[in-house]
Each structure stands twice: as C-alpha cells, then as structure tokens.
Amino acid sequence: MAERASRTVSAASIRNPVGRDGILDVAARLFREQGYGPVSLRKVAEAAGIKAGSIYYHFGSKDEIVVAILDAGIRAVHEKMRQAVLGHPDGAAAAAILRAAIRAHLRALLDVSDYSSANVRIFGQVPQSVRDANLPKRRAYEAEWDNLLTRLQKDGALRRNVDIRRLRLMLIGALNATLEWFDPERGSVEALASAYADVFLNGMLEQREV
C-alpha cells in the first residue's frame, strides 16, 4: 500500500517489523485464496512488505511455513468444536449437541480463521512430508468427533447401524466442501449450519409414517 516518508536507510525494517507471525498471517490468507501451488515465497514476501530472502531468517524452508499454518488451522477448529460440545451437559439432547458441533466447525472454517480454511484448501495439494507432519493434529481432531459420536450412539440417540468412522468422514467431508462455494452474500453461516444439521439429523425425505 502507501508508504510513509522514508528516513534514512532500510526504514521499513525498523518501522514495521513483520516478524514470524506476520509472515504466517499473510501466507495463510494467500493459501486460502489461491491454493498451494500458485503461492510462491516471493508472493508471500511481497504481500508482507518484505523481500523473499528475508523469510529465511524466520523459517528454514517453505515447508516449515506450510506445516505451521496447517497445524494452526486444525488447532483453531478443534478448539471451537470442543468448546461448543463442552457447553452442553452430558445428558443434553443429542440433536442440540450435534447442531452445536456442526455450527462450530462451519464457523471456524467460513467465518473465523484463515488458518482453518487454508488447511482445508491446501491439505490435498502439499507434499506428502508436509501432510505427514500435520497428521497427528488431524487425528486428534478426528478422535474428538469419534468420541462424541460414539457416546451419542451408546446413549441410543444415533442409529445403531451407522459406522462411526464413516459417519465422521461423511460429516467433516461435507462440512469442508462448503469452503468451495460458500458466499456470505447468499446466506449466513448460521443458516447454512442449521440447514446442514437438519439434513444430517433427520434426512431430506418427508417423513410419512414410522
């Protein structure tokens, strides 16, 4: 953007230190917007207002930046989802708990965090080594869902014949896919979450008889 008057030499580096977090913020935004391939370190540096070589003071490699962003993305959505579930007592209605979890995941993805959306957008595009580095955090988030779903099934709220792993993959897959088309001008995240919960909980068919 616009530059303030320069003083002596290398003024920007004194006035406006970008730092590790600034680089990550900018990179997460670019990855969310453009995907992994088109985002070079030169683009990240330019968007952050520094030169490409300067990035290597903070990070050892491009992969190191990507892993940091992927991990932060899972952490953000995991925390939101866990808090949403913890907000309900253990005996609360299964439908209400599931609605809250679905809503929390969608809000993290579509509203809150460039890191979470960057994670979903680029995970399938990064080198295998980067995916592997992010896997433990992914597994932990998946386990959080599996624990919730297993508990609800044991309580008799979920159909006994649904496979928990497959249901979790279906849920998270469907929620993450909204990133590709969601447009806040066509409807709120809240309305989207409510509609998704309706179908997942009760199905799309008109209920005639039981």
- Give dist(CA 150, CA 125) in Å, integer: 31
Kindly tell me which of 40 and 188 has the beta carbon lying closer to DNA: 40
Kindly tell me which of 18 and 102 has the beta carbon lying closer to a second copy: 102
Kindly tell me which of 41 and 97 has the beta carbon lying closer to DNA: 41
Among positions 9, 204, 205, 210, the unique one binding DNA when judged by CB under 7 A? 9
Q: List all residues 6 or more positions away from 199 whose beta carbon is below 8 Å from its beta carbon.
A: none
Among positions 3, 7, 10, 207, the unique one binding DNA when judged by CB under 7 A? 10
Q: With CB cut-offs between 5 and 8 Å by kind, which of DNA, a second copy, none does residue 57 bind?
A: DNA
Per-residue DSSP letter, 111: I
Q: With CB cut-offs between 5 and 8 Å by kind, which of DNA, a second copy, none does residue 3 bind?
A: none
- Give dist(CA 210, CA 155) in Å, integer: 21
State in angstroms the smallest separation of the CB of 9 from DNA. 6
The answer to whether residue 173 forms part of the interface with DNA (CB under 7 A) is: no
Q: Which of 64, 110, 106, 60 is nearest to 200 (CA)?
A: 106
Q: With CB cut-offs between 5 and 8 Å by kind, which of DNA, a second copy, none does residue 8 bind?
A: none
Using CB under 7 A as the binding rule, the residues of this chain from 51 to 70 that contact DNA are: 51-54, 56-58, 60-63
Q: Counting Cβ atoms within 10 Å, is residue 151 exposed (0-12), middle (13-18) or buried (19+)?
A: middle
Q: With CB cut-offs between 5 and 8 Å by kind, which of DNA, a second copy, none does residue 95 bind?
A: a second copy
Neighbour count for residue 14 (Cβ, 10 Å): 10
Neighbour count for residue 97 (Cβ, 10 Å): 21
Q: List all residues 6 or more positions away from 121 whose beta carbon is below 8 Å from its beta carbon.
A: 31, 32, 35, 36, 179
**Residue ranges in contact with DNA by CB under 7 A:** 9-10, 12-13, 16-19, 40-43, 45, 49-54, 56-58, 60-63
